[in-house]
Structure 1
Amino acid sequence: MKTKTETFGQSHSAEKEKDEPIQDVKTVAAKPNTPPTSYNAGISMTDSLLPSANSRERTTDVTHVMVHFMSNGLNKPNDPFHIQDIRSLFTSYGVSAHYVIDRNGAVYRFVPEDRVAFHAGKGNLKGFPAYKDKMNDYSIGIELLAIGTKQEMLSMIPNFPYDSIDPAHIGYTDAQYASLNNLLNDIYSRYPTISKSRKHVIGHDEYAPGRKTDPGTLFNWSRIGF
């Protein structure tokens, strides 16, 4: 595993996804979901761990994976995916995700799985009423470096310079789908609480419809087995 600590970052908008400290979550006796010391064959991971202020200790079992898109297109429409800029967005806005998948399929780990990343924010999930505004505590957040449709981007960021974006930056790459599949399969193998189903693998737009549009209509769920 390559280690390049403190060199990279996140977020596709300036809106914080960090929620308030949870006071009523169930605490488990042992530290849950110990993060892997190694990943399944085929996963190449680069560590870029964020400061501890960008996460908190996890005290609940992980039951979900949330998929997002993100970019720095607002600030650099000609170079929206530079990983150092992504890291700066994470640290500037106090948000985070466990993993970021670059356009070439490279996977970066920003937060260990045994810590809560600030990626979901406020929302609701059908069938899980106790998770209202608390999804961070129960999920692993995965950001794909991508840009959605014009409508999706402008609904979240009204001044997003969409017409300046290279069409090659819009949507997702084959390499990203391949890496996401590998990472998800690894997660399934380690978490009996996360089934390979759309009940447990969700988009940000499903948790916060109207507020968030990622991963959006350009994300092909069939490419990850759904």
Structure 2
Amino acid sequence: MIELPSLNHAARQSAVDVLVLHYTELPLDESLKVLRDDKRPNRVSAHYVLAEDGTVYRLVPEDRVAWHAGRSHWRGREALNGSSIGIEIVNLHGDRHDYPDVQIGALVELCCDIIGRHQAIVPCNVVGHSDIAPKRKIDPGLRFPWARLAAGGIGLWPRAGAKPVEGDVQAALQRFGYPPAVDVTTTEIVAAFQRRFRPTGVDGIADPETRALLADLLSQGETRCE
């Protein structure tokens, strides 16, 4: 791990219980420059940056708040910077470019270390930026290997065969963690869910397959996320 401190951070007032994964949209050098620039009008940062070759850069200590989530909502809470750790994964566009195996291997190791230090990060609280800001963000993208992370004990992945959720899908999505349909539409929230859990078919329609995946995740959450 390479220490490369950023000045863009603040005091932490809340315990850490969320882990947020992003892609950078920029090459490594540019990403590090932006995340450490304390002169730009809207300063940003992350706790870690993960290069394509698996090298980990630590920019902000975990006991400080990094500015990576922005306007965000998850499991009934907003403004998640205060209770989260953010990892920026170098990838120019996660819908178009695969993540190298060595990079994902390093990510699994890093996430396991973080969760070991912050055991309040339950599986439901390992999220992508697109989960917590579905109107604004699409990262870490359709090609991000969420299933591989779940196999390593990081986050959740749905199993096939569940009975589809019936009734109000918006209410069911909120039970899982997604925001209410206030500044974002249910269609956008369904699309964010599909981006993560059914990346081969993202249309914002709560069809039976989408509802079945959601039902299984809610079932897993009852035992693994409290």
Q: Give the TM-score category using the shorter length.
A: 0.5 to 0.7
Q: Partners in 2 of 1:63 and 1:188 — Cα distance?
A: 9
Count of residues paired in the alignment: 147
Identity %: 36
1:65 aligns to 2:14 (yes or no):
no
Structure 2 residue identity aligned to 1:209: P
CA contact (8 A) 1:147 1:171 kept: no
**Residue 100 of structure 2: which of 167, 173, 185 is its match?**
173
Q: Deviations over 1:65-109 (max 9, x none)?
A: 00000132xxxxxxxx242x2222121341000000000000000
Instruction: Specify the alignment match of 2:49 in structure 1.
Output: 100
CA contact (8 A) 2:19 2:125 kept: yes
* RMSD, matched Cα: 1.5
Shift of 1:189: 1.4
What runs of 5+ residues in structure 1 fail to find an aligned partner? 1-44, 73-80, 153-166
Structure 1 residue identity aligned to 2:103: Q
CA contact (8 A) 2:28 2:90 kept: no
Q: Partners in 2 of 1:62 and 1:94 — Cα distance?
A: 21
Shift of 1:171: 2.6
Instruction: Specify the alignment match of 1:211 in structure 2.
Output: 136
Q: Partners in 1 of 2:129 and 2:87 — Cα distance?
A: 10
What runs of 5+ residues in structure 2 fail to find an aligned partner? 151-156, 158-226
Report which structure shows greater RCO (CA 8 Å, sep ≥6): 1
TM-score normalized with structure 1 length: 0.62
Structure 1 residue identity aligned to 2:91: A
SS of 2:73 mapped into structure 1: coil
Structure 2 residue identity aligned to 1:57: A
Structure 1 residue identity aligned to 2:48: Y
The runs of at least 4 aligned residues of structure 1 exceeding 4 Å deviation read none
Q: Partners in 1 of 2:33 and 2:116 — Cα distance?
A: 32
Superposed, which structure 2 residues align to 1:38-187 within 5 Å? Answer: 45-51=1-7, 54-72=8-26, 81-83=27-29, 85-90=30-35, 91=37, 92=40, 93-125=42-74, 128-129=75-76, 131-132=77-78, 134-148=79-93, 170-187=97-114
Structure 2 residue identity aligned to 1:115: R
CA contact (8 A) 2:23 2:88 kept: yes
